[in-house]
Amino acid sequence: MKSVLLLATSLVAVVPCIASAEELSHNYVEAGVSRLHDNLPSWVGTDNNYDGGYLKGSAAFGTSGFYGFGMYRQGTRDVGSGDEVDNTTSQFGVGYGYRIAPRVELIGEGSYLRNDEWAYTSDTWRASAGVRGAMGDHVEGWAKAHYTDGSFGGSRYSLEVGGQYKLTDTWGITAGVEAGDDRDVYTVGMRASF
């Protein structure tokens, strides 16, 4: 319920600020640094932080409004005695952007997620819905609500908010946070849009 309220608040804050700007593009490649924060129950132990990097991209299917996207994130954490544990996440999916104004679109996405940690692998699927828009000539923002279902831990809800500051028509700096029931993800990166 918190995720739904946060998404609604984000939508109310973002949509009135929309102004004329560059067209929204679903064609981009992005890379940067990330932190995955696992919120563990107190009986399990202390929370875990995995620091690393990510690579993601998206490609539009012509002018249909449909696009494909993918992401790979890898991080490590120190477990003492010089040993490290890796956590990797891969995501592949398709989405649709429905324009409600020249620089605003509602987005819906479906994707497959694979998470590897220690010797455990989790295959899940995710449904997402949100809004994306350009605010001025250099700023773009988005807010999405996610529902993730999987084999371990049941279903999860999370909210993602992010933005891009365009340095040129091609290059931009991005930042985002996804906060959820049991894990948070923070990213800062550089995007090349085509």
Which CATH number do you get for residue 162? 2.40.128.130
Enumerate helices (H) and strands (E) in the chain, giving the number of each: 1, 10
Element spanning 152, H or E: none
CB atoms within 10 A of CB 70: 15
Mean pLDDT value of segment 108-121: 91
Looking at the chain, the whole-number percentage of residues with pLDDT higher than 90 is: 68
Residue 178: predicted pLDDT: 97
Mean pLDDT value of segment 54-70: 97
User: What does the angle CA 94 – CA 132 – CA 71 come to, to the nearest 5 degrees?
Assistant: 40
Following CA atoms 19, 24, 29, 33 in sequence, which dihedral angle do they give, to the nearest 10 degrees?
30
| Angstrom distance (rounded) from CA 160 to CA 130 | 9
How many distinct structural domains can be found in the chain? Answer: 1
Residue 166 in contact with residue 172, Cβ under 8 Å?
yes
For 150-168, write each residue's pLDDT tens digit.
765 578 899 999 999 999 9
Range of the domain at 161: 2-193
CA nearest neighbour of 73 among 48, 56, 95: 56
Burial of residue 173 (CB within 10 Å: 0-12, 13-18, 19+) is: middle
Q: Is pLDDT above 70 for 44?
A: no
Residue 14: predicted pLDDT: 43
The whole-model pTM stands at: 0.83
CB atoms within 10 A of CB 150: 16
Structure token digits, residue 147: 């529902």
Using pLDDT thresholds of 50, 70 and 90, give the confidence band for residue 20.
very low
Residue 132 φ/ψ region, left for φ over 0, alpha for ψ in the -120 to 50 degree band, beta for the rest: beta
Residue 10: predicted pLDDT: 46
CA nearest neighbour of 107 among 98, 118, 116: 98
User: What does the angle CA 155 – CA 115 – CA 70 come to, to the nearest 5 degrees?
Assistant: 95
Q: Is pLDDT above 70 for 117?
A: yes
For 84-106, write each residue's pLDDT tens digit.
899 999 999 999 999 999 999 99
Mean pLDDT value of segment 108-128: 92
Q: Is pLDDT above 70 for 7?
A: no
For 137-152, write each residue's pLDDT tens digit.
899 999 999 999 976 5
Element spanning 10, H or E: helix 2-14
CA nearest neighbour of 34 among 64, 81, 8, 71: 71
